[in-house]
Structure 1
Amino acid sequence: MPVPKRLIEITQTHMGLLPPPSADERPAPYVPSNPPTEANLCDWIAGATAGNAIQYHEGLLLLDRSEHGSTHPTKERARIHAVARRAWIACELGLVHLFSQKVGECHFRYLAIRSNSSLKAPDIRARLRTAEPTPSQRHPT
Structure 2
Amino acid sequence: MNAITRFPTVRLRLTEIELCAWIGQAAPGDVLVYHRGFLALNITAQNTCLGEREKTELARMARRAFLASETGLVHLVQRRHGPEDYSYLAVARPKPRHARAALSSLLLAEVA
Q: TM bucket by the smaller chain? A: 0.7 to 0.9
The unaligned stretches of length 5 or more in structure 2 are none
| Contact kept? 1:65, 1:81, Cα under 8 Å | yes
2:46 corresponds to 1:52: no
**2:15 matched residue in structure 1:** 37
The unaligned stretches of length 5 or more in structure 1 are 1-25
Paired residues in the alignment total 108
Q: How many angstroms apart in 1 are the aligned matches of 2:105 and 2:89?
A: 20
2:3 corresponds to 1:27: yes
Pick 1 or 2: higher relative contact order, CA cutoff 8 A, min separation 6: 2
Q: What is the CA-CA distance between 1:121 and the residue it aligns to?
A: 7.0
Q: How many angstroms apart in 1 are the aligned matches of 2:57 and 2:48?
A: 13
| Contact kept? 1:54, 1:113, Cα under 8 Å | yes
The runs of 4+ residues in structure 1 deviating greater than 6 Å are none
Q: What is the CA-CA distance between 1:65 and the residue it aligns to?
A: 0.3
**1:17 matched residue in structure 2:** none
**2:44 matched residue in structure 1:** 66
| Contact kept? 1:58, 1:107, Cα under 8 Å | yes
Q: How many angstroms apart in 1 are the aligned matches of 2:100 and 2:21?
A: 9
Identity between Structure 1 and Structure 2 (%): 31
Structure of higher CA gyration radius:
1
